[in-house]
Structure 1
Amino acid sequence: MNATTALRPYEHPWEHITDELRRLDVWIDAGLQSMTAPADDPALDPFRGLVVTESEAKQLLLDDGRFAAIDHERQQELDAWDGYIASRVSSTIQQGIPLPLLRLRDAFRLSDRDVRCLVAAMAPDIDRKYEKLYAYLQDDMTSKFATVDLLLRLSCRSESERRDALPRLLPHSPLSSLLRKEQPDGGAARSALSRPIRADERIVAYALGLDWTYAGPMAGIRRYDATEIPPSLMTDQDVGEKLQAHIAASSSSPVVYLLHGPTGCGKTLQARLAAASIRRGLLEWDASAAPAEEEPFREALELAIREALLIGAVPAFDRLHALAGDRRLDWLADRLRGLEGPAFLLSEKTWMPERPLEGAAWIDVPLRLPDPAERRRLWKAAADGAFALSDAEASALAAKFRFATGRIERTVRTAERLLEWERGGSRAEATLDSKALHRAGYMQVRHRLGEKAVKLEPKFAWEDLILPDDTKSLLRQACNRLSYRHVVFGEWGFERKFAYGKGISMLFTGPPGTGKTMSAMVMAREMDAELYRIDLSRMVSKYIGETEKNLSDIFDEAQLSGAILFFDEADALFGKRSEVKDAHDKYANMETSYLLQKMEEYDGLTILATNFSQNLDEAFTRRIQFIVRYPFPDPAQREQLWRSTFPKESPVVHDIDFEYLSRTFDLAGGPIKNVVLTAAFLAAEDGVPIGMKHMIEAVKQEYKKTGKVLLKDRLGAYADY
């Protein structure tokens, strides 16, 4: 250990820990010399640690061996190691190389003796030789890990030091949060001094500079470094600047910031910016995924707070609204009272603990969603250099996805990876395809619409719709309203005049099979939007308040992605109102009004479909923006439907009389598709192309299915079929 060697910095945390263990070896050697003399009877020597002889007992009364024998020679050796390690640590700090063990010392306010105890506790997890040494030192071959007593023996030289060190190893001390108590073999009861103690696995990995991944309730932890956000991607700047100024002025004080607002308003982003303003990262934990039982919850909470201390981040607890009415909120509040620095709570709704946080400030920070114009700016700024977004494309994304900066950035990065995959790793034409942003945007949305609705894949285009021109025109007008609402409401200022009702509500009425569902699919494809079909007859509940809850869940989840909501069987709820004769009638009308209210509040497209327009109340239909009536197709439209239903590659004989089929059979689009598909299977069974024989047989089956009578003389020339 010459001076030149001592000044060399530690290049890796492992080197530092290795030197600390070498210093520990000196203490262990001193401990071996101070142990009680062996048994007088050599025959009992193999049973050392299993039996206590009379001579050993007497020796314990004379000299309990609670302190290691630090003579002059060992003191010189310890001093040499102290100087050597201190010199290398100083050189390492000067080089700007981080040492995790020093970070642990500073973050958890450990003394030098605490650090020595911690190194001794983690030693068996680094080198197995310490298992045997500790077993020998403790006169117990089953005790392979350090006990409280052994840690005191290897770190204290006097009664006063032992008295000061003992509380540091007891529960609720800074050092104890880095340790874990091992259950002794067989679960036998032990005194407080003889209970095995190990360094927590996470602490061992951290001290050695190893990567670590949490499992269980901690698996959802997200870590954000203290990186700067470009000014072009910032939202709600006034609130952000105020938040940053406050946390900078009270960075060492216990302050709890409750950031609350709707999903997508940028709560995480604002917390990241505030933490970065004091040069700290953010550690975000989804509290809703925490254990429901009290003890596991508190343990997981301690792990989250400890992890934030380890990496020097500000702790943030997300999705508190999911714990509304839950005891876990009370347990969280209990722990917040003991924090020593800032913390963030993120929730969709505001919250206040029942009891004030003594000694800690509580700051309530409401946040709002970026408006469409601001979201359009964010999309263009985030996509700059990766996707050449036009104003119209950026507006479409802003209208569909109510994202703040964080999700917009993730969407752009995800879209880039999607294009690389689709093009075999090439990014040459990435700027030409903005459709990837829509696909990537849906990947960022985590909603539960699939639990109460059925997702429909929009496979049809405008040319597949066989409808009158005026009907198609209404459908296109509705699409254009969504496409250009950023101009009307944003640029032209109409948003100030319309506080709500900016979404699009439509009512499709007409007989079954006339194209209502297909129209919704065409519109979804036109706007690159998700389409969910909800059966209103299943949403209506006989229990008071349950229908409203079901509807509220649907709209809340849809808000995340701007999905198109297609409510089928609308007459189940929108029947003509009768006089209120009982409580059931009263609440039925309330449910209907509630649905209309949610439709007006929803920023996306809502479609109601019914087969019986005569059952609808005029007072309600006046609140619908578009009423699209689907007439029963006339013969000319039916012929188009018959012809368009056959795929190009299907084998069809030339004698199919489409004009006869459309003139003779009064079938709408849905039944016509059923007939064609049935005929195709009949032809496949016969091993021949599809012909009139198969078509007539399929028509007969369709009539039987619906209970209609098909007379033989109506078939004319095809009666023999």
Structure 2
Amino acid sequence: MSDTITLPAHLETLRGRVAELVAGRSADDPTAGDPLRGLYVTAETAHRLATAPPPAPGTDVFPAEPVDAFEALALRFGLDALDRQVLLAALAPDVDRRFEPLYGYLNDDVGRRRATVALALDLAGTGPHDPLARARFHPLAPLRAGGLLTLDDEDRPLPGRAVRVPERVVAHLLGDDALDPELVDQGVELLTDDASGDPASARDAPAPAGRIAALAAAGQPLLVHLRERREGTAAAPVTDALRAAGLPVLRHRPAASTADAATVTRALVREARLRRAVLVVGPLPSEPGPLVRSLATGDVPVVFFGSEPYDSGWAPDAGLLSLDAPYDRVDPAHTWHTELSRHTTEFAPDFDLGEAVAPYRLGEEQIRRAARSAAGHAAFDGTPPTAAHLQHSARLQSAPLLDRHARRIRPAVGFGDLVLPDEPLGLLHELTLRARHRDKVLGEWRLRTGGGRGRGVIALFAGDSGTGKTLSAEVVAGELGLDLYVVDLSAVVDKYIGETEKNLERIFVEADRTDAVLLFDEADAVFGKRSEVKSSHDRYANLESAYLLQRLEAFDGIAVLTTNLRANIDDAFTRRLDLVVDFPFPDVEQRVALWRTCLAGTPCSPDLEDELSSCAQEFELAGGAIRSAAVTAAYLAAGHGGPVSGADVRAGARREYRKMGRLEPGGSLPWQ
């Protein structure tokens, strides 16, 4: 028997009860035939109402065993016999209009066509004089706490207040399972059970997602908090496991809600009960206590997640179980390929998918969004998805808050722009290799030591100013398809004790969440050597260094430290570095190559090559100074309207020598 057939049967039973009540009242009502009845009260009617005896206790008109959607709803919300009769009385006018004039008659007011508290209790065989009956309308009683019933007319006494059933409950009983309108545009998404999924895959899901799905499918009480070390590592595995187990999921993002929080959570719990769904809620706000307590009902399975550490004060009596979400990624390349295949069947043949996405530490939910975005960008360009499409979309999933603490650089250079000896060049290639394969080596192969150490890759670039340290960091970021964030030390170092550490912690926290390369330029300003404590200043300076030593141990991102004087870096920091790359001062051949690279895009005179060799021998300039000299030469050429000549290059080189206060070859001192 379908739900839409059995509900009218309940209403017919109620209509019989209404008919009995109408007959009973009209039998001794002298105004029963008065066409103006309900618009005034006569003295005779007032006397009759004042002297009438209390009604006799009623009997339960509902069967003991659940047979339809109404009874299933009553069991789901913990309603007793009286609750069910009250709910049915309140529901009747929303389903059958014949109840409206009847209720108007019984309310003795033709304008009040909904059941009042008094009328609903009269139909149930009791009355508002019964304290237990009145208690069924308490805000914490099942009817109102479950969102099944609301009371209108706040200015009236309780017996005269109209009772109303929300439209979502009416729609559910009539077979309409559209999402509650109160939850639309409030950060709530309905994910139905995966009909194509294999229930065995839910059991085989990685812990704790598989265990959560098994408990929820068995109807066990479930209230879990999953703490994420990385965004997107908790929600997607749990959601997939629940759907594979045949359970609908209500995914709620609290930050996206714009309505009153109490209204949203009340509607959310009601929707979960109506659907027998599991709530997956997160990321949790900074003060999650009220949200957790409002959703911890005991009968609705809820999975909370977020980066906030568990606090026993959130819901001290609810039995909230806190677990760590797994950090290890399960074959991200396979996940990328699966998600991309949902949107496109054609792939560019010239890139390795696994290598392109290896630097990104995205959760499954982020990969889904990035794959959809990459497919959209590729369709817009009219090409199959390429590495550039994937990397652009993946970068968009990283936390943007790092922009507040560092300057972002979108890499526009590659290894072809570097002029370095083989050894430092090889170490830079090794750095990119470490960044791509750290999850496999440190996670899957378990080569990470204990002590809470992270999976970060940290390198020190040491060398004279202008030897290519910052450029190399940009090249590494570009090779990995990541953004480069340069930390502004002037905004980090603070004269007040402890503030520098707080500023650095904000940067490290955001860097852990962001797929990017973090550059500490002139790092010896904060990573310098500890000294013997001779004053309070020394003591606090050493505390700052101790904090950095501990923080680098737990760092999960990619960081590059640069210094002009390697000896200034504390040995304890050096031990924690994965690579130390020394950038030597360029020799003559390298200086010639640097001149050629810098002037590669400019129009040059035919005799320039000999002049470049001559300048490289005469002027001992580092790569940064050569680039500045090349820019000066280009401006001079643009000024006289011709190609870059040897004279322009030599003028640029002399300008750099003067800036450095050095004696020009065959010339005078810069101040003479």
* Fold-level similarity (TM above 0.5): yes
Correspondences of 1:114-125 after superposition (within 5 Å): 114=83, 117-118=86-87, 121=90
Give the alignment partner of residue 273 of structure 2, picking from 309, 330, 333. Answer: 309
Structure having the larger proportion of residues in helix: 1
- CA distance in 2 between counterparts of 1:178 and 1:707 reads 77
Correspondences of 1:519-668 after superposition (within 5 Å): 519-613=472-566, 615-631=568-584, 637=590, 640-641=593-594, 643-645=596-598, 648=601, 652=603, 654=605
CA RMSD of aligned residues (A): 5.8
Q: What letter corresponds to residue 521 of structure 1 in structure 2?
A: E
- CA distance in 2 between counterparts of 1:667 and 1:329 reads 61
* Distance verdict in 2 for CA 1:115–1:230, change over 3 Å: closer
8 A contact 1:575–1:617 mirrored in 2? yes
Partner-residue secondary structure (3-state), 2:580: strand
Give the alignment partner of residue 148 of structure 1, picking from 102, 117, 120. Answer: 117
Partner-residue secondary structure (3-state), 1:178: coil
Correspondences of 1:80-159 after superposition (within 5 Å): 104-110=73-79, 114=83, 117-118=86-87, 121=90, 138=107, 146-152=115-121, 155-156=123-124
- CA distance in 2 between counterparts of 1:130 and 1:455 reads 67
2:354 matches 1:401 = no
Structure 2 residue aligned with 1:172: 140
2:435 matches 1:482 = yes
Structure 1 residue aligned with 2:223: 256
| TM-score of the two chains, using structure 1 as the length reference | 0.69
- CA distance in 1 between counterparts of 2:641 and 2:15 reads 90
Q: What letter corresponds to residue 339 of structure 1 in structure 2?
A: G
Structure 1 residue aligned with 2:462: 509
Structure 1 residue aligned with 2:305: 346
Residue 151 of structure 1 and its aligned partner are, at CA, apart by 3.9
- CA distance in 2 between counterparts of 1:205 and 1:696 reads 81
Partner-residue secondary structure (3-state), 1:369: coil
- CA distance in 2 between counterparts of 1:390 and 1:692 reads 40
Structure 2 residue aligned with 1:369: 327
Give the alignment partner of residue 411 of structure 1, picking from 367, 380, 399. Answer: 367
8 A contact 2:518–2:560 mirrored in 1? yes
Q: What letter corresponds to residue 305 of structure 2 in structure 1?
A: L
Q: What letter corresponds to residue 534 of structure 1 in structure 2?
A: V
Give the alignment partner of residue 160 of structure 2, picking from 183, 186, 194. Answer: 194
* Distance verdict in 2 for CA 1:584–1:161, change over 3 Å: same
8 A contact 2:340–2:371 mirrored in 1? no
Partner-residue secondary structure (3-state), 2:487: strand
Q: What letter corresponds to residue 509 of structure 2 in structure 1?
A: D
Q: What letter corresponds to residue 178 of structure 1 in structure 2?
A: G
Structure 2 residue aligned with 1:219: 186
Q: Where does structure 1 lack aligned partners over 5 or more consecutive residues?
A: 1-6, 68-78, 84-88, 94-98, 716-721
My pick for the range that moved more, 527-536 or 506-515, is 506-515
Deviations 1:94-140 (A, max 9, x none): xxxxx6x5653342244677556546646777899999997787566
Q: What letter corresponds to residue 304 of structure 1 in structure 2?
A: L
- CA distance in 1 between counterparts of 2:9 and 2:377 reads 48
- CA distance in 1 between counterparts of 2:48 and 2:663 reads 112
8 A contact 1:452–1:534 mirrored in 2? yes
- Percent identity over the alignment? 30
Residue 586 of structure 1 and its aligned partner are, at CA, apart by 2.0
8 A contact 2:278–2:302 mirrored in 1? yes
Q: What letter corresponds to residue 166 of structure 2 in structure 1?
A: D
Residue 203 of structure 1 and its aligned partner are, at CA, apart by 3.4
* Distance verdict in 2 for CA 1:603–1:395, change over 3 Å: farther
- CA distance in 1 between counterparts of 2:105 and 2:623 reads 87
- CA distance in 1 between counterparts of 2:633 and 2:166 reads 70
| TM-score of the two chains, using structure 2 as the length reference | 0.73
- CA distance in 2 between counterparts of 1:181 and 1:705 reads 84
* Distance verdict in 2 for CA 1:605–1:130, change over 3 Å: same
8 A contact 1:515–1:669 mirrored in 2? yes
Give the alignment partner of residue 329 of structure 1, picking from 277, 281, 289. Answer: 289
* Distance verdict in 2 for CA 1:439–1:22, change over 3 Å: farther
8 A contact 2:198–2:245 mirrored in 1? no
* Distance verdict in 2 for CA 1:335–1:264, change over 3 Å: closer
Deviations 1:538-596 (A, max 9, x none): 22334444433433333333334543211123122123433212333223223223323
